[in-house]
Amino acid sequence: MDLDDTNILLRVHAEGPAAEDGRLPLAELARIAAGLQLTLERVALALTGKDPRGRRPRDIVEAVRLDFVGFGRGSVILDVARPGHSEADELLAESLQVLEQGVAAVQQGGALPALFTPTVINGLRELAGGVNAGNLTSISFGRPHGRGFVIDSAFRDGLRRVATQDAAGSEATVVGRLQMGDFSPSALRCRIDTYAGSVLADFDADLRDAVLDAMDQVVMAAGSAELQPDGSTVRLLHLTSIERLPSAPMSPLATLRRQQGISPVGEIEELLGPETDEDFGPFIEAINSARHGDE
């Protein structure tokens, strides 16, 4: 089927070890489809001036809705089409054009379109999350009447630079215990528990092994921070490096008991201190004085 087939709006071409022999894990298929659909919805919301937070208006969701209509073997090819034709197709065409322009700007290091909001950028980060040497090396999106775009390692690195520039002046380093890792390609997130609270962090595939090795360890993590409105609390940390820190060794109770010369109690009397009236008498007098001082 040629790319100019009028029934096909987009042709998605996935390449890499995960797409060998014309196969593709369902998790990757779901990640690509959901990432594309969600990003288009966010671009459409920006085009119409709608708030990207909260429930998305049904008319916007339907206007940019895409359907999976075909699967090609080889290095996997997915065919995507509109469920029908309507006046709303104009919004979908505009959204695809903005997406193509923004991806090209990221690749070329240029200024992003004004409609490339933080939510759109975060959506593209998730879409590019599964791109690595051991999974998918590239995901190409081609269409008959557009330039198309490619999500690959170069785009992922360019997107990281964009995020760093946008977060200029908000580089952050946190120290805490690394907890709650999600290592699925579509997520790649973790939580770092510090003395001041928990910090959510995301990371790219090239840091996956380092984060996995540091789980449940005290770490020093650095990256660009998205701050809360108060300007001092980190909402999300985009990790660029992580380092395990030395911590005090954990010893079993039996070892600690032996090291400190503690033995089991044989008689309850052993828990009593030496008998003395030197401090007890004045203490009782002070109590009685406090009780009857107002009488």
The pLDDT of residue 168 is: 44
* Per-residue pLDDT tens over the stretch 180-201: 888 876 678 899 998 878 888 9
**Higher per-residue pLDDT: 116 or 244:** 244
* Per-residue pLDDT tens over the stretch 88-106: 578 888 888 888 888 888 8
Mean pLDDT lowest among 43-52, 198-207, 224-233, 250-259 = 224-233
Q: What SS3 class is residue 120?
A: helix
pTM, 2 dp: 0.58
Q: Residue 19 corresponds to which tokens in the numbers above?
A: 């797409």
Range list for CATH 2.40.50.140 in the chain: 171-244
What is the C-alpha separation between 98 and 115, in angstroms, rounded?
Answer: 8
Q: Which residue spans within the chain are E strands per DSSP?
A: 10-15, 67-72, 77-81, 138-142, 149-152, 171-182, 189-194, 197-202, 218-227, 234-244
DSSP state of 251: -
Using CA of residue 214, residue 216, residue 218, residue 219, what is the dihedral sign?
positive
The pLDDT of residue 10 is: 81
231 pLDDT above the threshold of 70: no
What is the C-alpha separation between 235 and 223, in angstroms, rounded?
Answer: 12
The topology under which CATH files domain 171-244 is OB fold (Dihydrolipoamide Acetyltransferase, E2P) (2.40.50)
- Is 6 exposed, middle or buried, given 0-12, 13-18 or 19+ CB atoms closer than 10 A? exposed
Pair 190, 201: CB distance under 8 Å:
yes
291 pLDDT above the threshold of 50: yes
